[in-house]
Amino acid sequence: MSYSTSRILLSSTRESQISRFRAWVLLVVPVFAIAFQIFVPRFFPLAQYLEMPLLVVVYFALMRRSQIQGLLIGATVGLAQDSLSQKIPLGMFGIVNTLVGYFAASIGLRLDVDHAFLRLVLCFFFYVFHEVMYWVMARALLGQMLTLELQRTLVQGLLNAVVGVSLFHFLDRLRESA
């Protein structure tokens, strides 16, 4: 972890290390994130502003440094998220999370995703990207005239970024050591 604090960009692909996770981690963490997204807001309304599935997708995509794995994780989590929502057709969150996982994996190949600040920025960025993409798709595909409140989006992005950095720090403990 020490090196990650010294620099952000990787000098070569050999410096990038693919984090490996146990299988149950790859299965339980997303399920836990989706369940949190569904269950917790019933008791803590402020929890609805957290996008835990998105943060989990970003994290695994960054850590796996594989675009295919990242988009698959994103598609899976997204479809699961859509499946649990009655009003949202299947594929809305799936497409958005697929793109997020793809781009997150792509960025993970170039950046040192163990850097805390970078994680903060990436979480903020991908949250905003997630919101914008959803808004666009909702308007384009569903014809829903949703309003995009940029200020609230930024605040929520910042909140999720902070939560994401903490979450990432917790998930780093679940990856296998090299």
Residues of the shown chain interacting with other proteins in the complex, contacts defined by CB under 8 A: 67-68, 71-72, 75, 78-79, 89-92, 94-95, 98-99, 102, 141-143
What is the helix, strand, coil percentage profile of the chain, to 5? 75, 5, 25
Distance of closest approach, residue 92 Cβ to other proteins, in angstroms: 7
Q: Kindly report the CA angle at 29 between 62 and 153, in degrees rounded to 5? A: 65
Task: Considering the complex, state which of residue 2 and residue 86 has its C-beta at the smaller distance from other proteins.
Answer: 86
Q: Decide whether 23 or 140 has the Cβ nearer to other proteins.
A: 140
Helix (H, G, I), strand (E, B) or coil at 20: strand
Helix axes 52-64, 150-172, angle to 10 degrees: 50
Minimum distance between the CB of residue 169 and other proteins, rounded to whole angstroms?
28
- Closest distance to other proteins from the beta carbon of 53 (Å): 15
- Considering the complex, state which of residue 92 and residue 122 has its C-beta at the smaller distance from other proteins: 92
Identify which of residues 71 and 161 has a Cβ nearer to other proteins in the complex.
71
Question: Residue 166: CA atoms inside 13 Å, Cβ hemisphere, count?
Answer: 8
Token readout for 55 is 């943060």
Give me the least distance between CB of 80 and other proteins, in Å please: 12
